[in-house]
Amino acid sequence: MSMETEAFVSGYCRQLDASRMVELILEDGRLSEADCCYGNCLYQSNCPIAKEIDQYQ
């Protein structure tokens, strides 16, 4: 049985040019879903939100 939890990270999103909060869904402690373009974002390499999400990987 897998354990699902949620977490939130916030910061500046260059794609939106605004601050935002991103919801993360974690299954058994591993990221399964993010409420943003994480993984496909053009700005991910220098995104403060992506850096926080990376800590959940």
pLDDT the model gives residue 12: 95
Is the whole model's pTM more than 0.75, yes or no? Answer: yes
Count of domains for the chain: 1
User: In a 10 Å sphere around its CB, with 0-12 CB exposed, 13-18 middle and 19+ buried, how is residue 47 labelled?
Assistant: buried
Question: What is the extent of the structural domain holding 16?
Answer: 4-54
Among residues of the chain, what percentage have pLDDT more than 90? 84
- The mean pLDDT of 41-57, rounded to a whole number, is 92
- The mean pLDDT of 10-15, rounded to a whole number, is 94
End-to-end CA distance of the chain: 20
